[in-house]
Structure 1
Amino acid sequence: MSLPVTAWRSVLPHLGYDLPPDLTPTTTSGPVATGLPLELVRQSVSSKEWWDIPEPVAEQYRRYRPAPLWRARAFEAAIDAKVPVYVKYEGGNISGSHKVNTALAQAYYYKRAGIKEVVTGTGAGQWGTALAAACAAFGLSCVVFMVGGSLRDKPYRGSLMRLLGATVHASPSGLTEVGRGNAASANTLALAIGEAVEYAREGEGRAFCIGSGENYSILHQSVIGLEAAAQLDEIDARIDTVIGSVGAGSNFGGVALPFLARHRAGETAEQPTLLAVESTATPKLTRGVYAYDWTDATGTGPMEAMYSIGSSYAIPASHSAGLRFHGAAKLLSAMRHHGEIEATAVGQREALEAGRRFALSELVLPAPESGHALAAAAAVATGADAHHRSRHGVLVCVSGHGLLDLSAYDQLLAGQVQDLAADDRAVELATARLRPVGSDLPTGVR
């Protein structure tokens, strides 16, 4: 495939099974009622494989795409890698992350659908920044509820969003019932999303907008893997492992799933191992249950089939706020359930150490979320990971830069970073009432 990429590629036609349907509470019509454009609905459920990128979106992509890919030889030397490590870097845009790939697409579709204002929740602020930039590009108003602890730790994320014209609220806030009801609780991305859902429903011309776990956002992120595959082909590079970090899943899905689609379409002889890397603080793919759970803290949106540690689980504070989500995307969860992707978990100290080593060797500072992927890539490339080994080469997505995460690296240098792994008993309690996929429906849903 020649660059630039002109169409998104869906993996849905290559699965061979249907995703479990969402369960909608009987008391609400769900987030679709807040204005989800029909084109995004189609992209979530259709068996169509290729989706042309609309020219207004493609024009914006051309400002920063194709994103660079390089062989990280200095990083290889620093870790004593046994195989090549190739890096796909998504930090070279105004949002500093991969999130803008779907933000631009969504803003375009919401604008075309007649929406005037989009509302969202954000963890580390990368998604909020990306959506603010996309709204500025397409003439929409933007309201962002950002996890309060993250906003305090990363104040310049709020500054950048406001510079781009967005209104930013720390979550939990006093603007919503769910925020007021959880004012004393640990703030999480699920709570920020819950506030955004409620706020969006209260205003005419508003729509809730989400950036990671939905099928359409993973579709839009396929530009990452499609570009990476073409770039690797151009230099005759061979890889057998694709690695990305997972909050809900758009970064990993974007870089990894096009490689599965290529193989199943008969375009390649080998399918690489697809390795999802999560935080030990939110280990849904490695320690969670495959069950129906809420996607937000309101309990009024749809319940999705996902690997989850429980939407009620009090996730400990972490510098990798983009990974602080209780569940994985329903697409990735189904693929994990069917054995098509593998998973591992990394602590934040190990992630930040990997990020520091990458900065010292490659002179690129990764976001803490990307540090998780780099730590896993180092383990695979050196043979330290006994369960995931590479014989030919590793592709890892550095999903964003860490220039607005320097407080995390300051704490690393000061020896103040703590690893707070998920508590077994707390996870057990938070998932005890969830209904496993395939069991009877929970009460109050249809």
Structure 2
Amino acid sequence: MPTRWRSVLPHLDEPLPEDLPPEGTAAGSGVHINLPMELVRQSLQTREFWDIPQEVADAYRSFRPTPLWRARGFEAAIGARVPVWVKYEGGNVSGSHKLNTALAQAYYYKRAGVRELVTGTGAGQWGTALAAACAMFGLRCTVFMVGSSLAKKPYRGVLMRLLGAEVHASPSGLTEVAAADDGSRGNSLTLAIGEAVEYARGREGAAFCIGSGETYSILHQSVIGLECEEQLAAQDAEVDAVVGAVGAGSNFGGIALPFFASARSAGRRPPRLVAAESAASPKLSRGVYAYDKTDATGTGPREAMYTIGSEYRIPDSHSGGLRYHGAAKVVSALRHSGRVDAVAVGQVDALEAGRLFTVHEMVLPAPESGHALAVAARLACQGGQDGAERGVLVCLSGHGYLDLGAYQQLLAGELSDRDPDPAGLRAAMSALPLVGERTRGPLGAVAGAGAPIGGAL
């Protein structure tokens, strides 16, 4: 198991764009999300390697290293021309890769004196991971879960409560941001996160915590790619394409960016990095590179991201945690510089890929992971410039045992795909300031990291 996380920041073509203040505020004001100082450093410093704290490493050892195998049955089923290597992150209590950063964040927040962590979650993997991490480190946990997802997957709520968390369906009756919603953001991760931000702000000893698109979260997820590099080397195997699903970007960043950093360090050409996103929220393939809000409150800094607009109402689908309007700053910057490719996948194709994988590999993928498997299958079956020549590595970011309702609908022929409304996309993106054309000044030295919590190390 790795003893250090690896940052991609030293290997970017240029520094990440600085954040802008919230709309209607002066530079340096309006930021209410506090972070432990170490997470601030991990977001801003260009140090490449960061030691994993001993307490976090000990917690990792209950489920890491995670398995990597060549999916020969899946290869045969899809007619693959090259090997497909699968990294499986579903073998822990949360059922997904999210526990990698949840444990790290709970550790740092507790050291900073926080007693309760509050978060928003889409499909529930992140909420479950944070509930587990809070239980391990002795913190209270409150989760706002997208209401439509909680209704489809009620046992996600049961598992979070079993781990000691308090769970609320979003929109809830507990926050002003939910009460003010006109239905345009209902059943969206943006609103659930906004409720968590507001709720945490009003509780003593509480802090908002999130685990997908943040630079420090992607750093913690680098254990995935670092293990893959060693595991592939032990098999004398090489890949020229690395695939992960993208909601905001943590599991994609975790598996792909260590390969990019290693190649840049060695002066080699990196493998093709392919982000698989939901066709219902195609920020990387149909969005704009602009400054946008990260949640429905709009009180935090506006970040440079590929986005379809935080005001866009994302169609309901079984894409779960992929139903988010924007991509992480790091992933967006790499996409903008041409280092990351993106493919949008419909829910039917994603679940069908998951069904095939289940039948031929005896592992049931989450719907999010099905999007990545569908893209990996295309790359493995195509030749030339559009495919892979040596092999494909794909992150199976979680299991699908709490998503069987989606597979039931697939088997019953009840699923279809709804394309985003072009007019709605244009309207949601039209007023966003494009990166490079900003009209407001930056927040300053710690822009986008949030204000550090006193006492953090």
Instruction: State the TM-score, normalizing by the size of structure 2.
Output: 0.94
| Structure 1 counterpart of 2:13 | 16
Q: CA deviation at 1:187?
A: 1.5
Q: Match of 1:435, SS? A: coil
Q: What does residue 293 of structure 1 align with? A: 292
* Residues 390-399 or 269-278, more deviating: 269-278
Match of 1:348 in 2: 347
* Structure with greater contact order relative to length (CA < 8 Å, sep ≥ 6): 2
- Which secondary structure does the structure 2 equivalent of 1:415 belong to? coil
1:365 shift after superposition: 0.3
Shift of 1:33: 3.8
Distance in 2, Cα, partners of 1:179 & 1:444:
29
| Deviation (angstroms), 1:416 | 0.6
Aligned to 1:396: 394
Is 1:246 the counterpart of 2:243? The answer is no
Instruction: Tell me the equivalent position of 2:257.
Output: 257
Letter paired with 1:203 = R
Tell me whether 1:192 sits opposite 2:192 in the alignment.
yes
Q: State the distance in 2 between where 1:46 and 1:33 align.
A: 22
Q: Deviations for 1:358-406, whole angstroms, at most 9, x for unmatched residues? A: 000000000000000000000110118x863100000000000000000
Gaps of 5+ in 2: 445-457
Structural mapping, 1:360-439, within 5 Å:
360-383=359-382, 388-439=386-437
Q: How many residues align?
A: 441
Counterpart residue number, 1:73? 72
Q: Secondary structure at the match of 2:285?
A: helix
> What residue identity is the alignment partner of 2:404?
L
Q: Could you give the per-residue CA deviations for residues 289-318 of structure 1, whole angstroms, max 9, x where no partner exists?
A: 000000001111110000000000000111
Q: For residue 325 of structure 2, what is the aligned residue in structure 1?
A: 326
Alpha carbons of 1:347 and 1:30: their partners in 2 closer, same or farther (altered >3 Å)? farther
- Runs of 4+ residues over 3 Å off in structure 1: 27-34, 442-446
Amino acid at match of 2:16: L
In structure 1, C-alpha distance between the alignment counterparts of 2:63 and 2:11, rounded to whole Å: 30
Give, in whole Å, the separation in 1 of the partners of 2:415 and 2:438. Answer: 43
After TM superposition, give the deviation of residue 418 of structure 1 in Å: 1.6
CA spacing shift, 1:184–1:341, aligned 2, 3 Å: closer
Q: Conserved in 2, the CA contact under 8 Å of 1:35 and 1:206?
A: no
Corresponding residue for residue 448 of structure 2: none
- Name the SS of the counterpart of 1:292 in structure 2: strand
Q: Could you give the per-residue CA deviations for residues 204-254 of structure 1, whole angstroms, max 9, x where no partner exists?
A: 111000110000000000000000111000110011000000000000000
Q: Secondary structure at the match of 1:265?
A: helix
Give the match for residue 112 of structure 1.
Answer: 111
8 Å Cα contact 1:31-1:208 kept in structure 2: no
Amino acid at match of 1:133: A
Q: By how many angstroms is 1:16 displaced? A: 3.4
State the Cα distance separating 1:58 from its structure 2 match.
0.2
Q: Distance in 2 between matches of 1:440 and 1:244?
A: 31
Contact 2:31 2:299 in 1 (8 A): no
> Per-residue deviation at 1:286?
0.2
**Matched residue, 2:123:** 124
CA deviation string 1:246-276 (max 9, x = no partner): 000000000000000001111x744110000
Q: Residues of 1 paired with 2:27 and 2:351: CA distance? A: 42
Give the CA deviation at 1:443.
9.8
The reply on whether 1:213 has 2:210 as its aligned counterpart is no
Matches within 5 A, 1:217-232: 217-232=217-232
Structure 1 residue identity aligned to 2:327: A
Q: CA shift at 1:440, angstroms?
A: 3.0
Describe the shift of the 1:408–1:439 C-alpha distance in structure 2 as closer, same or farther (beyond 3 A): same
Given that 1:172 and 1:192 are in contact with CA atoms closer than 8 Å, whether structure 2 keeps it comes out as yes
Give identity over the alignment, percent.
66
Quote the Cα distance in structure 1 between the aligned partners of 2:135 and 2:28: 30
Secondary structure at the counterpart of residue 386 of structure 2: coil
Q: Which whole-Å deviations, capped at 9, do the CAs of 1:83-114 have from their partners, x for residues lacking one? A: 00000000000000000000000000000000
Distance 2:218 2:53 in 1: 17
Deviation at 1:17, TM superposition (A): 1.0
Q: Structure 1 CA distance, aligned partners of 2:146 and 2:36?
A: 26
SS at match of 2:35: coil
How big is each residue's C-alpha offset from its partner over 1:326-380, in whole Å with a ceiling of 9 and x where there is no partner? 0000111011001111111100000000000000000000000000000000011
Deviates more, 1:101-110 or 1:13-22: 13-22
Moved more, 137-146 or 10-19: 10-19
Task: Name the TM-score, length of structure 1 as normaliser.
Answer: 0.96
Paired letter, 2:262: R
For residues 432 and 167 of structure 1, the distance between their equivalents in structure 2, rounded to whole angstroms, comes to: 38
Q: Distance in 2 between matches of 1:81 and 1:325?
A: 31
Question: Relative to 1, partners in 2 of residues 1:342 and 1:72: Cα closer, same or farther, differing over 3 Å?
Answer: same
Deviation at 1:203, TM superposition (A): 1.2
Could you tell me how far 1:34 is from its partner in structure 2? 3.7
Instruction: Give the CA deviation at 1:421.
Output: 1.8
Root-mean-square deviation over aligned CA pairs: 1.7
Structure 2 contact 170–187 (Cα < 8 Å) conserved: yes
Q: Establish whether residue 37 from structure 1 lines up as the match of residue 47 from structure 2.
A: no
Map of 2:135 onto structure 1: 136
Distance 1:57 1:30 in 2: 33
Q: In the alignment, what sits opposite 2:449? A: none
- Checking the alignment, whether the CA contact within 8 Å between 2:21 and 2:30 is kept in structure 1 is no
* Structure 1 residues 30 and 75: alpha-carbon distance in aligned structure 2, compared to 1, 3 A threshold: farther
Instruction: Tell me the amino acid that sits aligned with residue 423 of structure 1.
Output: D
